[in-house]
Structure 1
Amino acid sequence: MEFKFTPKNGNQGVDIVQRAALKWAGHICRREVGRWSRVILDWQPRTGHRSIGRPPARWSDDIVKAVGKNWMQLTSNRPRWRANEEALVQQWTEIG
């Protein structure tokens, strides 16, 4: 996979990884509901005892911060999702 993307902030490695994560997230969300990858995406762990400290970070939490809670619905329109990737990567980079 080759990217021809020059980031404005000079952190090309991070931008490539973030763009790949957005592409992968869109791909998984557009799959059929019964597929195991989609089931895992929607899976919520059982609630029980909490471990001490901060909860572990998930990649979907980063996407929610950058795109919003309805990001899974936005991926259904593939051309629009792909057209907005650069803006989403820039926004994701600014959020940190």
Structure 2
Amino acid sequence: VRLQGEEVEKVEEFRYLGSTVQSNRECVREVKKRVQAGWSGWRRVIAGVICDRRVSVRVKGKVYRTVVRPEMLYGLETVALSKRQEVELEVAELKMLRCSLGVTTMDRIRNEFIRGTVHVGCFGDKVREARLRWFGHVQRSDINYI
């Protein structure tokens, strides 16, 4: 491939707008990066709010929705996630929510109940919502803007 007379080097992956683009169209690294960012945000607030039993579930849910979830969602509106990768993100989210409520998988509490308790919707739905919002911005933008 040539660009302005110069040959462009072919690479396996590169960074574009903060996301890793791979030549095989996979987004495994991007999903891992988002899960790590979510855990990083979760650990930042863990000491003061998330795992404190004196803090109400309502406040824990708000903190989660405003600190942790945006870090996991960042940039995913432009990534083509497979069902497996979407499940991987949901598993990480539910681990965080269970830990913040002091619930383990051995307690056999359904995911829907945990989401309802903390007032957090399904992660896959949030990704789709972000994609639609992004698509709306792109659709409304001026074609000559770029």
TM-score (norm 1): 0.31
Higher helix share goes to which structure? 2
Higher strand share goes to which structure? 2
Specify the structure having the higher radius of gyration (Cα). Answer: 2
